[in-house]
Amino acid sequence: MKKKNVKRLTSVVPVFPYMDKLICRKRLDGKESTADLYRASCNWLRKFRGGCQLLFSHITPSLVDHFCSFLNSQEHLATNSINSYISNFRAMYNTAIRESIISRPAIHPFEHLTLHPEKTAKRAVRLETVKEIAGMDLKHDPSLAAARDFCLFSFLGCGIPFVDLSHLTHNNIVGEELVYNRIKTGTFIRVRITPGMRHILNKYASPESPYLFPALTLIDGKSSHEAYKRDLRQYNRNLRILGERLAAPVSLTSYVFRHTWATEALRKHIPVAVISQALGHTSEKTTRNYLAALDQSELDAANRMITQEIEGVMGARA
């Protein structure tokens, strides 16, 4: 009898207040990116409902299908964005089950779904393009010069993402190495500082700031997540301008240089295990177990092979 009462009570639990609490919890846990994804999914679900209340008992395979159709009817939404909203909706629903907010239904509303990701264009550019960017004369445009320096540091530093680069502090320099934990995954990364990286570090060195680069908007010495997203958008805008100025214009974003490093590593026949370690990937368990035995000198040698041509261009410019 008690079990039936629980099911009856959970069937009238409202969805949106629970989702809002879940989003707040993610932010408190420091999982800002997940919180942003959950919030976007929740906003589209609210739009789909047209302001009407949604109870967990309303979430059926039919409602999920109608939500999918609604998203697909939005002309500006890409397939992978739609998949992300549905996937995060499912994740929040499953969390409600795991936390005993609701009982698992006899027919899971998402069980019939199979999400097919759409292949996207390769983000990597040719090494010649990176050389051209390294040789650009940007003395009269400090904002573009900073964007150029940050993307070169990303490439020289084994594809370090902007989120990690922008949050580097003096404590992340240990001897001749850059040592940090990836913000996204927590993976521990070590990269030997190359001459080109050292040149850029020295250029932006400031004892007045705890950060190695002036890439973040700081308030009372700290950067909020919303401020970081604005800074990332500005960085990508500057990269887009740089891309338009190339002899053969290309679309540049912050992740282009991470993909380019990985692509160049593969072209030079560097083992995938070494590439995975350098990028801080954690999804390949077999690879990660193998990586634990790799010597740090192998990773340093791999990065020297990939970056030496860009180092030469930067040395000439300096």
pLDDT at 316: 72
pLDDT digits (tens, 9 = 90+) for 72-85: 999 888 888 999 99
User: In Å, how far are 35, 233, 237, 255, 298 from 226, measured between CA atoms?
Assistant: 12, 11, 17, 19, 38
What six digits make up the tokens of 120? 């996207």
pLDDT at 313: 86
Cα separation, 97 vs 108, in Å, equals 11
Residues 136, 45 contacting (CB under 8 angstroms): no
pLDDT digits (tens, 9 = 90+) for 188-239: 999 999 999 999 999 999 888 889 999 988 877 777 888 888 999 999 999 9
* Series of mean pLDDT values for 10-residue runs along the chain (318 residues): 46 90 92 90 96 93 96 89 94 95 92 80 82 95 96 94 94 96 86 95 91 87 83 95 95 90 80 78 44 58 86 79
pLDDT at 144: 96
Structural domains of the chain in order of their starting residue, each with its CATH number? 2-98 (1.10.150), 127-317 (1.10.443.10)
Residues 256, 154 contacting (CB under 8 angstroms): no
